[in-house]
């Protein structure tokens, strides 16, 4: 259901309500474009902030979710999909908006134009509660990682370490 209309926290709230997903959208007085800004805005540690990044694997969109300032290792994604590292590319801001309806830095882990194949770093699930993109640069979604996992039907992986490819 790609559209020219961008989505916002109202769409996210409706999606959560329709899908019976517990969580709270927090409307903040300051923008939260970075992990540091988001953590400062809600008074938490940076590893309690969850970021959703869009990659393209063989030109197909894949959402990868990790926490804090952790750097996702594209080879881990490549290994999971059994493709070469060069077939995994981070989406640019225009593609993120076109595929999901949300801007970079505001993108929630779900509620996009259409469901995306999702990978979630195993460390995210160690937390009781996290803060994810809330649909705008001044909203965050407070939610349990298990709810993200259930809502996205994500595959749990170690996204921070290169995955060895099976040569067979």
**Domain residue ranges in the chain:** 28-157
- Indicate the SS3 state at residue 24: strand
Asked if the model's pLDDT at residue 166 lies above 60, the reply is no
Q: Which uninterrupted H or E stretch holds 90?
A: strand 88-90
Answer for the pair 156, 149: CB distance below 8 angstroms, yes or no: yes
Mean pLDDT, the chain, rounded, equals 93
The pLDDT, as a whole number, for residue 142 is: 98
Q: Tell me which residue of 74, 80, 65, 163 sits closest to 118, measured CA to CA.
A: 65
Q: What is the pLDDT of residues 17-42, one digit of tens each?
A: 999 999 999 999 999 988 999 999 99
φ, ψ for residue 6, nearest 5 deg? -80, 155
What is the pTM (predicted TM-score) of this model? 0.92
For the cut 80, the answer to whether the pLDDT of residue 164 exceeds it is no
Element (H, E) at 16: helix 9-18
Homologous superfamily of domain range 28-157: YbaK/aminoacyl-tRNA synthetase-associated domain (3.90.960.10)
Those residues whose C-beta lies under 8 Å from the C-beta of residue 34, and which sit 6 or more positions away, are 105
For the segment 120-140, what is each residue's pLDDT rounded down to a tens digit?
999 999 999 999 999 999 999
Rounded to whole angstroms, the Cα distance separating 107 from 109 reads 7
């Amino acid at each position: 259901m790609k559209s020219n209309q961008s989505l916002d926290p109202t769409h996210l709230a409706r999606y959560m309500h329709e899908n019976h997903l517990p969580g709270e959208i927090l409307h903040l007085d300051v923008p939260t474009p970075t992990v540091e800004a988001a953590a400062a805005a809600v008074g938490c540690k940076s590893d309690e902030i969850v970021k959703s990044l869009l990659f393209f694997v063989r030109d197909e969109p894949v959402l990868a979710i990790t926490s804090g300032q952790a750097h996702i290792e594209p080879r881990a994604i490549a290994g999971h999909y059994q493709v070469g590292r060069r077939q995994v590319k981070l989406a640019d801001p225009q593609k993120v908006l076109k595929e999901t309806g949300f801007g970079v830095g505001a993108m929630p882990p779900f509620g996009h134009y259409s469901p995306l194949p999702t990978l979630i770093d195993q460390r995210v699930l160690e937390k009781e509660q996290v803060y994810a993109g809330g649909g705008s640069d001044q909203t965050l979604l407070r939610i349990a990682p298990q709810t993200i996992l259930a809502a996205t039907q994500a595959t749990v992986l170690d996204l921070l370490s290169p995955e060895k490819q099976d040569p067979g």
